[in-house]
Structure 1
Amino acid sequence: MAADDTAPARAWRVVLERIEGDLLDGRLAPGDRLPPERELAATLGVGRSSVREALRVLEVMGLIRTGTGSGPTSGAIIIATPRGGLAALLRLQVAAQGFPLSDVVATRLLLEQWVVGTLAESGAHDLSDVRATLAAMDDTTLTAEEFLALDAQLHLGLAEASGNAVVAASMAGLRTAIESYVQAGAARIPDWDAAATGLRAEHRGILQAIDAGEADLARSLVHDHITGYYAAAGLTRD
């Protein structure tokens, strides 16, 4: 009875493992179409329902796109844009409180210090969206919630400008957690207006260091920016 109960769960994993192996071995590549459900089921010795379950997982992960009907857009096609899937999986883990706050902050430090350092060293980047977000944050009528939503967008914009899709996807996936803890922390800051003024200045300092190609300074400033807010908001490590 126990073996029968676990068989369906194992079956769809067989499909995932086969597709993963084909990708790693080069038998499948972005743009290729997966075999039809019936063929996959017969080849792997699993039911079509297990194949469909595996395809749903792959679609959520951003590794395939499925189309109905017949013709060139039908069936399951390997795509080369897994970023959305990675971000979605991270958001789900965050929503389920699977990551301690201290781990989120530590990961931010790792990612964002790399981001600003890389931007400063490369000199080839487009920060127009980041500058537009920073300009929007100058509006003194913004509520703390509105300001911090823009703050999260600014940091995500820097990650996207770095050109590293994995880093950008990671930051996108952590954005909900970042916004959540900075919003909660704002309520603990006695003088929000002064804090917002300080955050604007810190953002500008980080951008100036990037523009000047001063990678070490940019990394130091973004470290102090993140940990400074963490401390000012009275957030405790869990």
Structure 2
Amino acid sequence: MTSESPATDLPIAPHLRAWEHVLSKVEEMMVSGELLPGQRLPGERALAADLGVGRSSVREALRVMEALGLLKAQTGSGPNAGAMIVSRPTGGMTMLMRMQVAAHGFPVSDVVQTRLVLESEVMRTLSQQPSADLTTAVELLDSMDEPALTADEFLVLDAQFHVALADAAGNQVIAAMMAGLRASIESYVVAGVDFTAWPTTCTRLRGEHRGLVDAVTRGDDSLAQQRIIDHIRGYYQGVRSDR
């Protein structure tokens, strides 16, 4: 028997390739609790034998999981070697969102609508958390006060500021989605700049950003949500009017 020959005759769903079959089975093990975050997967040989696939199919499935941020592989031998389930796979979700944005070129209106949904919840959550750490967000606002910044530099910091608010809210899924959308956010805000009116626009954005933080620190969730909606829609309307 070669290393690529199935060690058993376990059936593989006809619509799945061998490595997808491995992913499906590992998912079942995680859902059932047989595999937990921080726990190491069985070795390649054992997985191949248990699932009835070749070791190369197991390796391919593990590479996919590692790329998605679900797995951390440690080479070598000993107690720390092998593949371990990662408890916070936000990096993989962020990468997946970025790749989807890059591949499909999501319409600006879809990105804006998604931002309205996500960031309204972020502002509501932050306003109800007196202990929320806004240090990074405020530092970014301070950086945006630098008069020598170009419009492009300012708007990159702008996108980072919105992601920092999502991080501070503590919802890992929303934070990962916002980070994944960041490149798309940057592209449409830069595309919408009227450079002839940039000094005025820049001043307005600075004020709106400070207003967001002010509403959060006051603990006024209604005001915070309304300000983020007005902020996002106001910029989008400017983008549309320039096109």
TM-score normalised by structure 1 residue count: 0.92
Q: CA deviation at 1:43?
A: 1.2
Letter in 2 for 1:108: R
Q: CA deviation at 1:230?
A: 0.9
Runs of 4+ in 1 over 3 A off after TM superposition: 6-9
Partner of 1:39: 46
Select 1:212's aligned residue among 182, 204, 218: 218
Partner of 2:207: 201
Identity of aligned residues (%): 53
Correspondence 1:12-161 to 2 at 5 A = 12-161=19-168
Partner of 2:4: none
- Contact persistence 1:189–1:232 (CA under 8 A): no
Q: Secondary structure at the match of 1:80?
A: coil
- Contact persistence 2:134–2:165 (CA under 8 A): yes
Q: CA deviation at 1:99?
A: 2.6
Q: CA deviation at 1:154?
A: 0.6
Letter in 2 for 1:210: V
User: Is 1:230 the counterpart of 2:224 in the alignment?
Assistant: no
Distance 2:41 2:58 in 1: 11
Distance 1:64 1:199 in 2: 40
TM-score normalised by structure 2 residue count: 0.91
Q: Secondary structure at the match of 2:72?
A: strand
Deviations 1:77-127 (A, max 9, x none): 111120000000000001112532221111111110100111112222011
Distance 1:121 1:129 in 2: 18
Partner of 1:175: 182
Partner of 1:3: none
Q: Secondary structure at the match of 1:71?
A: coil
Q: Gaps (5+ residues) in structure 2? A: 1-12
Deviations 1:128-185 (A, max 9, x none): 1111110111111100000001101110110000011111111111101101111111
Q: Gaps (5+ residues) in structure 1? A: 1-5
Between Structure 1 and Structure 2, how many residues are aligned? 231
- The root-mean-square deviation of aligned C-alpha atoms, in Å, is 1.8
CA 1:112–1:171 in structure 2 vs 1: closer, same or farther (change >3 Å)? Answer: same
Distance 1:101 1:51 in 2: 39
Distance 1:102 1:31 in 2: 40
